[in-house]
Amino acid sequence: MDMAKLQDFMGKLVVDLGGATLAANMLIGEELGLYRAMADSEPVTPAQLARKTGCHERLVREWLSGQAAAGYIEHKEGAFRLPPEQALALAVEDSPVFMAGGTSAIAAMFLDKDKIVAAMRGNGAIAWGDHHPCLFKGVERFFRPGYRAHLVAEWLPALEGVVPKLEAGAKVADVGCGHGASTVIMAQAYPKSRFHGFDYHEPSIATARQRAEEGGVADRARFATATAKGYAERDFDLICFFDCLHDLGDPVGAARHALQALKPGGSVLLVEPNAGDSLDENINPVGRFFYAASTCLCTPNSLSQEVGLALGAQAGEARLRKVFLEAGFDIFRRATQTPFNLILEARK
Ligand SMILES: C[S@@+](CC[C@H](N)C(=O)[O-])C[C@H]1O[C@@H](n2cnc3c(N)ncnc32)[C@H](O)[C@@H]1O
């Protein structure tokens, strides 16, 4: 027994259990507007923050103390301050690094614990729509900041000849669109193009329609409930899969369907979690996050559907290439990447 190794591991576990507990406090702080009330980075006492947010002062002090112990906020002489850098991640919804909104997706994994345990003991399947509804908004808010920061500025320009088509007026599909964050962002950037969001989860499609209204693009962003192999529209210049291909039961079937629905010369934009091609390459903070989420969300969803390929959220580029070549595409390449995402392009 190596006692030093045990001590090191106990230290790591304390940090991780603290992180899991803190996630619940982050969710609470986000919902109550505690972070937002500190977004100006001015020092506040617990009494001032409690007054500002209409919360119980003693509990606010305890929450602030936990946030200070975690290094999320600063503490000096009884006052607490959210530094501007941390405010970007915790309080500013429109910032490119806003993360607090995604915590409700993490909450779903706890709320659905019994279903996940039953799936692991049984056939592995949990359909997306059978999760607690806090998942759907959490996923939207987790991914949207990245789409806002990179989709129009970097990802679409990294594709071969796609931006001129979008500027002139293209027909675009967003498959597995969820709440339509990516669809609305593209529709706002390219007013001459027409966007069709598809998802098999009807409540998500209803929210996506609402988001298009709120974003002023309902005239050019339409949504329909359809599976990735079931939409009937054709002649797309661009078909997108944002963080959903690995969730599908039959990704090869979905890619084949996309190939049939593309115009000659059309492209697929595939956005997937960043991953290397082997487990050894994914032993890092991004791998730790996505494998854990994939155990509870992505892989059970795939197993709930026809074929049940269960790629998992850390499939990696080589495995994804195999899917698209098997479906009949000739060209598959990495267009660009971020620390969280691989941006891949497929063409015939
Ligand atoms: C992780 S979420 C991503 C949602 C959205 N693309 C985003 O980036 O915010 C995966 C989405 O895939 C959808 N989905 C899963 N299986 C599907 C299928 N077979 N056909 C269509 N959509 C599917 C789910 O309903 C869910 O909205």
Q: Ligand 1 pocket, 251 CB below 6 A?
A: no
Q: Where in the chain is the domain with CATH 1.10.10.10?
A: 3-92
- The CATH number that domain 3-92 falls under is 1.10.10.10
Q: What is the pLDDT of residue 187?
A: 99
Q: How far is CA 16 from the centre of its chain?
A: 22
Determine whether the shortest distance from the Cβ of 248 to ligand 1 is under 6 A.
yes
Q: How far apart are the CA of 276 and the centre of ligand 1, in A? A: 22
Entry pTM: 0.96
Q: Is 27 in the pocket of ligand 1 (CB under 6 A)?
A: no
State the pLDDT at residue 208. Answer: 98
As annotated, the residues of the chain forming the CATH 3.40.50.150 domain(s) are 105-347
Q: Is the CB of 174 under 6 A from ligand 1?
A: no
What confidence score (pLDDT) does residue 112 get?
A: 98
pLDDT at 152: 98
The Cα 341–Cα 269 span in angstroms is 12
Residue 157 pLDDT: 98
- pLDDT one-digit tens code per residue, 240-262: 999 999 999 999 999 999 999 99
The pLDDT of residue 292: 97
Q: Looking at residues 281-290, what average pLDDT do you find?
A: 96
What is the average pLDDT across 280-294?
A: 97
The pLDDT-based confidence of 85 (bands split at 50, 70, 90) is very high
**pLDDT at position 274:** 97
pLDDT tens-digit readout, 173-210: 999 999 999 999 999 999 999 999 999 999 999 999 99
Mean pLDDT value of segment 98-109:
96
- Pocket test of ligand 1: the residue of 200, 245, 250, 257 to mutate, having most ligand atoms within 8 Å of its CB, is 200
**In Å, how far are 64, 207, 278, 291, 332 from 284, measured between CA atoms?**
30, 34, 12, 11, 26
The strand pair at 74-76 and 79-81 is best described as antiparallel
What's the pLDDT tens digit per position in 308-347? 999 999 999 999 999 999 999 999 999 999 999 999 999 9
> Would the CB of 302 count as within 6 Å of ligand 1?
no
Residue nearest to atom 20 of ligand 1 (CA): 227
Contact 182, 295 (CB under 8 A): no
Residue closest to 81 by CA, chosen among 92, 91, 72:
72
What pLDDT does 167 receive? Answer: 98
Fold of 105-347: Rossmann fold (3.40.50)
Q: How confident is the model at residue 144 (pLDDT cuts 50, 70, 90)?
A: very high
Residue 12 banded pLDDT, cuts 50, 70, 90: very high
Please answer whether residues 203 and 145 qualify as being in contact, where contact means their C-beta atoms are separated by less than 8 angstroms. no
Averaged pLDDT of the chain: 98
Mean pLDDT of 39-55: 98
pLDDT at residue 1, as a whole number: 93
**Cα-to-centroid distance, 94 and ligand 1 (Å):** 23
Question: Where would I find the beta strands (DSSP E) of the chain?
Answer: 74-76, 79-81, 171-175, 194-199, 221-225, 236-242, 262-273, 331-337, 341-347
Q: Among residues of the chain, what percentage have pLDDT more than 70?
A: 100
User: Which atom of ligand 1 is closest in space to residue 302's alpha carbon?
Assistant: 16
Evaluate: CB of 176 within 6 angstroms of ligand 1: yes
Confidence of residue 223 (pLDDT cuts 50, 70, 90): very high
